[in-house]
Amino acid sequence: MDALITRAVSEFSDIFGEKPSHFGDAPGRVEVIGNHTDYNHGFILASAIDRRLAVVGRPVDGETARVYSRTFNSGASFRAADPVKMKENPWVNYIMGVIWQLRNKGVKVGAFDAMILGDVPLGAGLSSSAALEVATAFFLRAMNGFSMDPIAIAVNCQAAENNFVGMNCGILDQFASAMAQPERLVFLDCRNLDAYSYYPLGSAVKLVIANTKAPHVLVDGAYNRLREACFRAARICAEKFPEKRVTHLRDVDPELLDACKNAMGEEDYRRAHHIVTENARVLAGAEALTRGDYKGMGGLMTASHASSRDWFGNSATELDAMVDLALEIPGCYGARLSGGGFGGATINLVESDKAEDFAQTLADRYREKIRIEPEIHLFKAGAGAGGGAL
Ligand code: GLA
């Protein structure tokens, strides 16, 4: 048994005094390229990280679900048939949200006890929340024996986050967590979730995550504002050129956007410009990976950062510093902010044999410049979610 699950089993027994019968586990994810393209029906390239979150538990009699998190050293209980959002333990909302969404789909979940344990860094833009949702869904599927494929699990976990937790994220995080494969990047056409494919990363390069530790400010509000700007821009293109059948910015190319420029506000145009060019970069990135062209891929990542910073407006001083410093260090092919933005982490594509030195130098220079101790992770592209009987 995997070390994390073994620990979760023993923690479960300590708290609940029995052995768990089932488990689910899911990784955090990193967005390699494709910034805010997901809810615009565009393209992404992502990877699971080799840090995971496990949920182990067993069914019990009665109506009450009891959950305990070792990470937060806190527990909560709720009616399994009728979960209600809570303020005291926000992490429980991700679990309840999945149960609530499964019920919307006609899947009934009975009472259970569960222990949650993981090593996905929190607040680092690595989607510990998606990992918790997806691990919960795999655990519940194993324990209750309903059938649901991993893509449907990802979609339902996204719905849980949108409609129960109240965060309007796209599909990237949950899809990557559910569908990733070791040592590969997953490519997704977010318009058609069956259109996914995998690109080997190769041993010549490593992905390095650099958490800026910049304090997140008003991330959800800012995220929604960007989303709205994208949707408005798409609506204007649709109105101006109905024959183009635009529903999302995915359907807009640079020429069409420029033809609509004067009909939209400056802010909406700038946001749309990023999305339209970013989709092209993701497609070019997938091609570069096929050729083993890491210089090309790195260049696209760096261009993606510049676009997020200059057109999309979701960078931050700390993210820009982390990227600029990285690009000066030997072995770095490319660097960019990853995830929602405004804080969180950057993702760097680095020559394998220089990766350790790169990480050390980047940490030293960032600390010196920004006066915050960053967290730098070299990681292997990990496996997607799993679950089963113990
Ligand atoms: C967050 C969201 C994702 C995606 C990224 C930006 O991580 O949860 O759905 O929109 O931001 O690409």
Ligand 1 lined by 35 (C-beta under 6 Å): yes
Distance, in Å, from the CA atom of 209 to the CA atom of 217, rounded to the nearest integer, reads 21
**15 has a pLDDT exceeding 80:** yes
* Geometric angle at alpha carbon 381, from 130 and 363, rounded to 5°: 90
Q: Which residue has a Cα nearest atom 1 of ligand 1?
A: 340
Proportion of the chain above pLDDT 70, given as a percent:
99
Write the pLDDT tens digit of every residue in 231-274.
999 999 999 999 999 999 999 999 999 999 999 999 999 999 99
**218 has a pLDDT exceeding 60:** no
Give the mutation target among 37, 157, 169, 315 for probing the ligand 1 site: most ligand atoms within 8 A of CB: 169
Helix axes 317-327, 294-307, angle to 10 degrees: 160
Query: Mean of the pLDDT values across residues 122-130?
Result: 88
What band does 122 get if pLDDT is binned at 50, 70 and 90? confident
Q: What is the pLDDT of residue 217?
A: 58
Ligand 1 lined by 133 (C-beta under 6 Å): no
Ligand 1 lined by 169 (C-beta under 6 Å): yes
Question: β-pairing, 196-200 with 184-189?
Answer: antiparallel
Is the pTM higher than 0.85?
Answer: yes
Write the pLDDT tens digit of every residue in 156-193.
999 999 999 999 999 999 999 999 999 999 999 999 99
Ligand 1 lined by 318 (C-beta under 6 Å): no
What band does 215 get if pLDDT is binned at 50, 70 and 90? confident
Which residue segments constitute the domains of the chain, with CATH numbers given? 3-201 (3.30.230.10)
Name, in order, each residue with C-beta under 8 angstroms of 14's C-beta and a sequence gap of 6 or more.
none
- Closest-lying ligand 1 atom to the alpha carbon of residue 39: 10
Q: Which amino acid is at 208?
A: V
Query: Mean of the pLDDT values across residues 352-360?
Result: 98
- Closest-lying ligand 1 atom to the alpha carbon of residue 31: 12
- B/e letters for 124-140, b = 16+ CB within 10 Å, e = fewer, are bbbbbbbbbbbbbbbbb
Measured in angstroms, how far is the CA atom of residue 34 from the centroid of ligand 1? 9
Is 173 labeled as catalytic in the residue annotation?
Answer: yes
